[in-house]
Amino acid sequence: MLEIDGSFGEGGGQVVRTAVALSALTETPVRIRKIRAGRPKPGLAAQHCTAVRAVALACGAALEGCSAGSDTLVFEPGEIRRTTIALDIGTAGSIPLVLQAWLPVALVHGGSITLTGGTEVEKSPTIDYFMQVFLPLLRAHGAEVRVEVRARGYYPAGGGVVHVTAGPSALAPIDPARLPNEQGIVSCTQNLPDHVADRQASAASAVLPDFPVTIDRRTGRSTGTSVTAWAGAKGASALGRLGLPAERVGRAAAEGLLAACAAPGAVDEHLADQLLVYLALSGGRYTAPTASSHALTACSLLSTFGYEIAVSGTSPAVFSA
């Protein structure tokens, strides 16, 4: 049984998600202690429990301690198999972060998952970032993944529904020549007057004039807004909130993207940590503005499972395996 200190490095939910995915992929039982020990509400939150369950279902794992608030988790993987999974996070916890744990495992034999929860949540990738920044890069390296956003989910009520299908995929080594170069803006609202999405979009377009714009207006269980902008392997997003003018949301996402594009490196800082499991599995190389604490934490964890990632340079940082 591999023992993992869940509080090391960045010490967040990422340690749990990455550890269970690697446990499944390497068929190594793990015990994670001190989960999110330094966080204001330590232990597993609903999003982390759902990510663990998704990976457990995909590989027939036995679980102990997978409940909200638990500070210790035991994950004993079985064999990865093709599965059809449906899970409800039960809160507005991030669906893209659950997918972050499930996808590398699902790509082995294929499978599908339907998740209910948050699609656009603070401090996590929006579902649009997942679809427009993360997935194009993965697809360019051979991943077969389809995503359908059936409903959007915002804090606090959540209720977003996302269906993802993955085909068995052998990924090519990550190659800078295969990085995508599409760009765009998506302005999303749910349960809000039509003009909100238009004003967000116009403000983002004023900063990024040549970018194609998509408007996604919905009605659903929760109310909220977001804008995500992307260019190649870089993205930025902003979420609306009561009292924040729509123009500020659009401008924040667009200016965030300009800042990401001005930073050194081929992928943005967030994508840099999200790609590390794939870099470890398939090899290759990419550059990012910096080696963030999330990225360095993932590298240490990968090393615990026997995958060595070389990190060199500071600005940009170069990740290779």
- Does 56 appear as a known binding residue? no
- For residues 291 and 270, the answer to whether their CB atoms sit within 8 Å is no
Q: Is 97 in the site for ligand ATP (CB under 6 A)?
A: yes
Q: Is 48 a catalytic residue?
A: no
- For residues 121 and 94, the answer to whether their CB atoms sit within 8 Å is yes
Rounded CA gap, 46 and 53, in Å?
11
Based on CB atoms, which residue is closest to ligand ATP, 36 or 152? 36
What would the two tokens of residue 276 be?
């590390």
- Does 210 appear as a known binding residue? no
Distance of closest approach, residue 296 Cβ to ligand ATP, in angstroms:
12
**Residues 106 to 165: which contact ligand ATP by CB under 6 A?**
123-125, 129
Rounded CA gap, 295 and 307, in Å?
14
Quick note: the x/- pattern for ligand ATP over 38-67, rule CB under 6 A, is: -x----------------------------
Based on CB atoms, which residue is closest to ligand ATP, 83 or 228? 228
Rounded CA gap, 269 and 43, in Å?
26
When binding is defined by CB under 6 A, the residue of 187, 226, 274, 287 that contacts ligand ATP is: 274
- Does 271 appear as a known binding residue? yes
User: Which run of H or of E encompasses 151?
Assistant: strand 144-151
Quick note: the x/- pattern for ligand ATP over 20-39, rule CB under 6 A, is: ----------------x--x
Rounded CA gap, 293 and 14, in Å?
11
What would the two tokens of residue 213 be?
């714009």
**Residues 210 to 239: which contact ligand ATP by CB under 6 A?**
237
Whole-Å CA distances, 266 to 113, 263, 293, 312:
30, 9, 18, 15
Nearest to 127 by CA among 279, 3, 235: 235
Based on CB atoms, which residue is closest to ligand ATP, 24 or 272? 272
Q: Is 14 in the site for ligand ATP (CB under 6 A)?
A: yes
- Does 71 appear as a known binding residue? no
Q: Enumerate the active-site residues.
A: 294
Residues making contact with ligand ATP (CB under 6 A): 12-14, 36, 39, 97, 123-125, 129, 237, 270, 273-274, 294
